Amino acid sequence: MAKVASKNAKIKDSKASAEAKNWTKVIRAVRSPKTGAYTFKEQIVHKDKVKDYLAQ
């Protein structure tokens, strides 16, 4: 018989998981002035500040 996951294990820290949903991974393509090739920069940004980050 298979193990059944406990409900308590899933709802261990619901407050922390709710707060984690406010963050977004932003990937921006940046062109190298030397070679002209694109590189990608990744950063975790709060969802309210995504537009400000991309405007830089």
Question: What mean pLDDT, rounded, does the chain reach?
Answer: 84
Q: Tell me, yes or no, whether 34 lies in a domain.
A: yes
Torsion of CA 56, 54, 31, 42, to 10 degrees: 120
Is 6 domain-assigned? no
Q: Is the pLDDT confidence value at 1 over 60?
A: no
Whether 31 is in a domain gets the answer yes
Q: How many domains does the chain have?
A: 1
Convert the pLDDT of each residue in 5-24 to its tens digit: 666 556 567 777 778 889 99
Residue 9 domain-assigned (yes or no): no
Q: Percent of the chain scored above 70 by pLDDT?
A: 77
Residue 14 is assigned to a structural domain of this protein: no
39, part of any domain:
yes
Q: How far is CA 42 from CA 2, 22, 24, in A?
A: 39, 17, 10
pLDDT for the residue 5? 63
Q: What pLDDT does 2 receive?
A: 64
User: Residue 33 falls within a domain, yes or no?
Assistant: yes
On whether the pTM is more than 0.85, the answer is no
Provide the pLDDT for residue 16. 74
CA distance 45 to 54: 10
